[in-house]
Structure 1
Amino acid sequence: MDRTEHIHALRQVLTRLDPTGQAGGMNRFAFGEAALDAQLGGGLARGAVHEVFAPITPAAPAAAGFVTGLVLRAAGAKGHVVWIRQRHAQEETGKLYPQGLAEMGLMPENLTLVLVKDITDVLRAGLEAARCPALGAVVIEPWGHSKHLDMTATRRLSLAGGETGVTSFLFRVAAEPEPSAAATRWQVRGHPSRPLAAGAPGFPAFEAALLRHREGLAQTLWYLEWDRDTLRFRARPEKVDAGFAANPALSGAVAPLLLDGPAASQFGHTG
């Protein structure tokens, strides 16, 4: 599928979501953690661009989980999300795992996954999605550094979101922060989770550093966990409970979603 066909397919999906073009949104969305939301003046700007960086490639899964939580806070549990990935990102970090997304609260029927070849296509598809007011949010996941992802490109995304209310999340792996029009910039890595009763797996936990805030807020480090039952972030202690060492994380093989096979019908998918 060439570049023109990618965009045409995405437009068809977006038109089905909002044939009238009348959808809209509110000005801010909250994390759900009172202290953090108070510091942010009520939460993050809706219809803006927010950057989330994984400081190292192994931190990408945790950063993706953090992005998923933000997406759910911005879009709501039933809001539709478009996730645009550069193919090289999938080659380096693996396919999105549908059961994991569902455990976070993002259901397959509410997600359209778009896989494209290069950064130019990522940005074109992201801008197209940001212009659709029916969407709850769009995740734009390029790979590495690119001269195309500059102030001009992020400003276009910001202007499009300002008109439609669609929040864009630039999810960056293997890249360093550079000047952009993003309203906030975060750096995220994983943090040990606290086991639940009877040693059950705990909530996903994150070390989230606010690196930049367009309104001038100071840099801040937060330790957060994602409450999958209430779909909100909660603050948690920096150090894990003393009993954590006796409850190691569960491990085992997981089955990836084969996007070109029968299971792909669970997702709206273009590419």
Structure 2
Amino acid sequence: MPPAASSVLSDLRRSLAEAALRAGPAAAGRVGLGAAEIDAALSGGLERAALHEVYAAGTAGLAAATGFALGLALRAARGEAQGEAQEGAAGSGRPILWVRQDFVDAETGRLHAPGLNELGLDPARLLLVRARDGEGVLRAGAEGARCPALGAVLIEPWGEPRAFDLTASRRLALAAEGSGVTILLLRVAAAEMPSAARTRWQVRPLASRALEANAPGGPAFGLRLLRQRGGAAEREWRVEWNRDRCAFESRTAFDRSDRLLPRRTDVPPLSRPLVPLSGDGQAAAAGPDSGLRRTG
């Protein structure tokens, strides 16, 4: 193992050990999205101790796919089941480990702490690991997946790493089953391939709905359930993220162009599919003012 990769894993293990000292027993069951019809189609929500895949619908859908995956991670980290047991506590919950390939940063920009906070994530709860290649991302993700102190693990390689195959996905799935941690594999610039994921999603951005005084609305997503092991798939929904409830809510009043119809004919819809998740290097650097905890 290269010295740099060994150092990243060593730092990650120390951070996971610290998190384990503060955590109680892992939650069980399912992770509800918050939208009743989606949770019903998923028999109550996503399986918590499992691997799930989120695909971006093209490069333009990357921000939307990232936002959706982060929303799922937030729900899992708060211990949400079908109900809203902790409604209004968007900042609470277990730590979230986010393992990101350096090339994603180079192509799309680094994670932006204020943008993450707008979605409801306290950056202090984020353990951020950057790895040089896809193999390093998968190795660090598998390390985190075995730690029951985490609320969720978000793994983000670029493209189709040679190290990721059906066997590698089974290792991640088994790690999730053993620890009870939800694993979200964010696929960027990748085609669908066989895996051990319980569900597979494709996400695209939608225009947000204008609020009172024409204020910007919440992030909106077009969801397509491509695969659900043991359940129905090829279902589609349109949702928006409610930061205060830390939940997804259904959106039904769309026209054929997938833009929400305005509530008043004189107020056009805003074109703002997602809050900014990326920023310049200075804003996202892991320093004392960034709000992000970087491991490695």
Provide the secondary structure at the position in 1 that maps to 2:111. Answer: coil
- Partner residue, 1:267: 292
- Partner residue, 2:31: 29
Provide the secondary structure at the position in 2 that maps to 1:263. Answer: coil
CA distance in 1, matches of 2:57, 2:266: 25
Structure 1 spans left out of the alignment, 5+ residues:
none
- Partner residue, 1:130: 145
Percent identity between the two aligned chains:
44
Tell whether 2:246 aligns with 1:241.
Answer: no
Worse overlay, 101-110 or 7-16: 101-110
Q: 1:59 aligns with which of 58, 61, 67?
A: 61
Does the 8 A contact of 2:28 with 2:180 survive in 1?
A: yes
CA distance in 2, matches of 1:48, 1:248: 36
**Structure 1 residue 94: Cα displacement:** 1.1
Q: 1:207 aligns with which of 199, 214, 222?
A: 222
Question: What letter matches 2:175 in structure 1?
Answer: A
CA distance in 2, matches of 1:159, 1:188: 26
The verdict on how the C-alpha distance between 1:212 and 1:259 changes in structure 2, with shifts beyond 3 A counting, is same
Q: 1:9 aligns with which of 11, 17, 28?
A: 11
**Structure 1 residue 24: Cα displacement:** 1.7
Question: What letter matches 1:241 in structure 2?
Answer: L
**Structure 1 residue 21: Cα displacement:** 8.0
- Partner residue, 2:108: 93
Tell whether 2:173 aligns with 1:158.
Answer: yes
Does the 8 A contact of 1:33 with 1:235 survive in 2?
A: yes
Does the 8 A contact of 1:84 with 1:141 survive in 2?
A: yes
Does the 8 A contact of 1:205 with 1:225 survive in 2?
A: yes
Aligned residue runs from structure 1 range 41-52, under 5 A: 41-52=43-54
Provide the secondary structure at the position in 2 that maps to 1:85. Answer: strand
Moved runs in structure 1, 4+ residues, more than 2 A?
A: 19-23, 242-258, 260-264
Does the 8 A contact of 2:118 with 2:275 survive in 1?
A: no
Q: Normalising by structure 2, what TM-score?
A: 0.86
Tell whether 2:98 aligns with 1:83.
Answer: yes
Q: Normalising by structure 1, what TM-score?
A: 0.94
- Partner residue, 1:18: 20
Structure 2 spans left out of the alignment, 5+ residues:
79-91
Q: How many residues align?
A: 270
Please, what is the CA RMSD of the aligned residues?
2.1
Question: What letter matches 2:47 in structure 1?
Answer: A
Does the 8 A contact of 1:194 with 1:244 survive in 2?
A: no
CA distance in 2, matches of 1:255, 1:126: 24
Does the 8 A contact of 1:49 with 1:169 survive in 2?
A: yes
